[in-house]
Amino acid sequence: MTVTYAAPGRINLIGEHTDYNLGFALPIALPERVVVTLRPDGSDTVVVDSADEPGEAVIPLTTAPGEVTGWGAYVAGVIWALREAGHPVGGGQMSITSDVAMGSGLASSAALECAVLGALTTAAGVTLDKVEQARIAQRAENEYVGAPTGLMDQLASLYGAERHALLMDCRSVDVREVPFDPDASGVALLLIDSRAPHRHAGGEYAARRRSCEQAAAALGVDTLRDAQDWGLGALDKVADRVDAQRARHIFTENRRVLNFVAALEANDYHEAGALFNASHASMRDDFEITTQQIDLIAESAVAAGALGARMTGGGFGGCVIALAPEDSLDAIMSSIPTAARAAGFDKPTLIRARAAAGAGPVPN
């Protein structure tokens, strides 16, 4: 028996760094996915190779955090987290292929975790609901790989739906499909890859998370979500001005997610674009996770006719997304690479993106 399982990357439309503050986010799943093929062999190791990496990783089923590093850690982490949760895992030969761009802020690691988890549980005859799958994959990333990320990427990969965005309430872990089909209104969702890799397990992400936790503590609540409705004036109680600034991004960003959903429901892409711009400004000025290169791309998109543009993902590089009327596409496609090159940056790549289905088995 061979099991093949695929899981997509994602674009977060809006709601950045809100997930670990138990707020709102609105991602879509992408057509691009990680595909894992598993041939169970009854042994007590998983031997895994990847089309994108040299060599193979040999992972004992009894693996523990710290033992496997590099790309193999994502696979080992899922094996470990599944067993920690009390689920059976069998050995076998595993192969990975992927067309999700790595290091672009499109959640290639969550896609890998979810595809590995799907293959292992299918082979073992175990059925888990999507929230439990997401939590196990997140635990693999947090505790085995060592990146203190939230739950959005895994939920997006698992819940993806064609022509729909996924409104997540990260406190109740409720995911609601929201129709998202800009093409039907003559608007394109553009995905612009700066080709400057973002740093994921890096210190800046953890530092932002720490600042948010400190701000929550100064407000006397467990998470910033608990103070969401207090108004921005409440932040005067946060003595550390940087922590207060980070919290302001979270409060305003949560509000923008809900306003963005309302704009989609009203088919108002001008308002949706304005919310993209406001989100980008907040990430640039309050959360300070953009870069000059990313700011330049977002500004150039708007200058060339986009309704709005913002960085998507964890930050410090990666991708910008823009909502662009079809008649502005030619101008945007030509002006962004020109502006980036003129400023001495790599030439970005631009593609039109669409919401796609979530993770699932691939018929053999």
By CB under 6 A, name the binding residues for ligand GLA.
12, 16-17, 19-20, 107, 149-150, 152-153, 313-314
What are all long-range contacts of 274-279, with beta carbons under 8 Å and residues at least 24 apart? 274/307, 274/308, 275/14, 275/308, 276/14, 276/307, 276/308, 276/309, 276/310, 276/321, 276/322, 276/323, 277/302, 277/308, 277/309, 277/310, 278/252, 279/14, 279/16, 279/253, 279/310
* Minimum CB–partner distance for residue 148 and ligand GLA (Å): 9
Set 153, 193, 243, 286: catalytic member:
153
Query: With respect to ligand GLA, which residue has the nearer C-beta, 121 or 279?
Result: 279
Which residues 6+ apart lie within 8 Å of 4 measured at CB?
Answer: 35, 36, 37, 38, 119, 361, 362, 363, 364
Query: With respect to ligand GLA, which residue has the nearer C-beta, 109 or 121?
Result: 109
Task: Tell me how far CA of residue 314 lies from CA of 35, 198, 206, in angstroms.
Answer: 23, 8, 11
* Minimum CB–partner distance for residue 313 and ligand GLA (Å): 5
* Minimum CB–partner distance for residue 253 and ligand GLA (Å): 9
Q: Which among 131, 221, 140 is positioned nearest to 170, based on CA atoms? A: 131
Query: With respect to ligand GLA, which residue has the nearer C-beta, 87 or 199?
Result: 199
Query: With respect to ligand GLA, which residue has the nearer C-beta, 12 or 223?
Result: 12
Query: With respect to ligand GLA, which residue has the nearer C-beta, 31 or 103?
Result: 103
| 153 among known catalytic residues | yes
The partner residues of 310 in beta bridges, in order of sequence, read 321
Task: Report DSSP letters for 143-195, one per residue.
Answer: III-----SHHHHHHHH-BTTEEEEEETTTTEEEEEE--GGGGTEEEEEEE--
Which residues 6+ apart lie within 8 Å of 9 measured at CB?
Answer: 29, 30, 32, 33, 34, 100, 101, 106, 107, 108, 110, 111, 157
* Minimum CB–partner distance for residue 17 and ligand GLA (Å): 5
* Minimum CB–partner distance for residue 201 and ligand GLA (Å): 10
Q: What angle do CA 76, 314, 225 make, to 5 degrees?
A: 100
CB 272 within 8 A of CB 260: yes
Task: Report DSSP letters for 72-104, one per residue.
Answer: HHHHHHHHHHHHHTT-----EEEEEEE-SPTTS
* Minimum CB–partner distance for residue 329 and ligand GLA (Å): 27
CB 301 within 8 A of CB 332: yes
Distance CA 220, CA 227 (A): 9
Query: With respect to ligand GLA, which residue has the nearer C-beta, 25 or 322?
Result: 25
Query: With respect to ligand GLA, which residue has the nearer C-beta, 46 or 134?
Result: 134
* Minimum CB–partner distance for residue 106 and ligand GLA (Å): 9
Question: Which residues are designated catalytic?
Answer: 153
